Amino acid sequence: MSTFLMTVFSHLLAVSIAILGLYWLIKLREGVAFTSHVKIQIFNISLIINMHPLLTVLEFIIFLGDAIIIYKGIPATRQTLKLIHLMLHLIALLAGILGIYAVFKFHNELKAGHAYTLHSWIGLATICLFGLQLLLGIVTFLFPGAKSATRATFAPWHIFTGVGIVFMAIVTAETGLMEEFMFQK
């Protein structure tokens, strides 16, 4: 299959994930926002926690997926691809930080504990590894001070750990969905 068709297919899949997620959050769980007078709505029905799955799915599944595909899917100069790759990663990091903030805000408002589930630990590990990967990528590939031999040595590891982080994000999303269905019963 050609690179173009794979890129189109992956983007259609990402759009469908976003549409289904938004439908679930808006129609079945009454919307998204950052505040509510009814605290349980923040988590279960409406507001903060609905921001959490929305932002984290956008972050890791859509933006990071696009950042990976960018090198093969868009015909552009290497410098332009690097810049787009970096921008998608920065957007993903911002969305991830806001998504985690939403969960911590909810737990603080309910006076509940933090990081007591497998989902939260995998998610925190994923975002921390992502931040470290982003920092190392910026230092190694963006700044002109790194030697080409260093870049060549680091590139396969950068790719390998980047794909690993995306897989960790998928596992985090799946464990989050499992927890959501378990807590609803």
pTM for the predicted model, two decimal places = 0.75
Q: What is the DSSP string of the chain?
A: --HHHHHHHHHHHHHHHHHHHHHIIIIIS----S--SSHHIIIIISSHHHHHHHHHIIIIIIIHHHHHHHHHHS---HHHHHHHHHHHHHHHHHHHHHHHHHHHHHHHHHT--SS-SHHHHHHHHHHHHHHHHHHHHIIIIISTTS-HHHHHHHHHHHHHHHHHHHHHHHHHHHHHHHHHHHHH-
pLDDT of 45: 39
Regarding the domain delimited by 3-184, which CATH topology (the fold level of the hierarchy) does it fall under? Four Helix Bundle (Hemerythrin (Met), subunit A) (1.20.120)
pLDDT of 35: 60
pLDDT of 15: 78
pLDDT of 168: 92
pLDDT of 46: 42
User: What is the pLDDT tens value at each position of the chain, 185 positions in all?
Assistant: 566 777 777 778 777 877 777 776 666 666 665 565 544 444 443 444 567 777 777 777 778 888 888 877 778 888 898 888 999 899 889 888 888 887 888 778 777 777 788 888 999 999 999 999 999 999 998 877 788 888 889 999 999 999 999 899 889 888 887 887 776 65
pLDDT of 41: 42
Choose among 44, 52, 42: nearest CA to 21.
52
